[in-house]
Structure 1
């Protein structure tokens, strides 16, 4: 299945993750319109690659896994997260993640503030 279109063998699938990825992309661009999105780390096991978002350095990556969407913040341990969005990789030395399952909600304003914080850290 293509991560961008949600198409598999010519048919559109009903995959909630596709809509969630589109929502997160939109929030990133709303928070920081100059963000650059690139597809990185293509390989035979993941031919669609991984969307990576940068502005003055890597901000985050966005991945779909079975049952969840994961937003990995490259410098997450250096970010202020007053709204407690990080819920995964909390003991990692550098990065932090947000794992979103189908019924999870994401506070759009808190997420945009976290993106802006990541850019601020990149610029310091």
Structure 2
């Protein structure tokens, strides 16, 4: 699902999470939109056990997904292993060959400038049409 329907579903998901997880995901959503005003919101992987699906932000392909769990919010960058992360904000899925993730736990803060730089780098990588090999 894409477009305004997807944005409305994400709004509903955030409203259904009145605790710190909803606030954290809402802040990340705002940072993504600030970093890339052309980002498209989609919702994927809707199923009976997760009827609201997974929020996904795309620009020429998937940039990242935002999943909520009991103890953390997980932001997974689809091509994160190909992105430079000089601030070291990736803290999960570090051994994967393609993806990298950021787990945010209650009380955590995120380096907003570094996060927006990752979003912009993910957009640039998607627009380039290929993922460079990392050594």
Q: Compute the displacement of 1:55 (Å).
A: 0.3
Q: Which residue of 1 is the match for residue 27 of structure 2?
A: 23
Q: Compute the displacement of 1:107 (Å).
A: 1.0
1:36-65 CA distances to partner (integer Å, 9 max, x unpaired)?
A: 001111000000100011001110000000
Q: Compute the displacement of 1:4 (Å).
A: 2.3
SS in 2 for 1:4: helix
Which whole-Å CA distance do the structure 1 matches of 2:50 and 2:26 have between them?
A: 19
Q: Which residue of 1 is the match for residue 59 of structure 2?
A: 55
1:17-46 CA distances to partner (integer Å, 9 max, x unpaired)?
A: 010010000000000000000111100000
Which whole-Å CA distance do the structure 2 matches of 1:41 and 1:84 have between them?
A: 29
Q: Which residue of 2 is the match for residue 83 of structure 1?
A: 87
In the TM superposition, structure 1's runs of 4+ consecutive aligned residues that sit over 3 Å from their partners are: none
Which whole-Å CA distance do the structure 2 matches of 1:89 and 1:55 have between them?
A: 22
Which whole-Å CA distance do the structure 2 matches of 1:3 and 1:36 have between them?
A: 17
When normalised by structure 2's length, the TM-score is: 0.84
Alpha-carbon RMSD across the aligned residues, in angstroms, is 1.1
Q: Quick check: which one's helix share is greater?
A: 2
How many residues align? The count is 117
Asked if residue 111 in structure 1 is aligned to residue 115 in structure 2, the reply is: yes
Which of 32, 35, 50 aligns to 1:46? It is 50
When normalised by structure 1's length, the TM-score is: 0.91
Q: Quick check: which one's strand share is greater?
A: 1
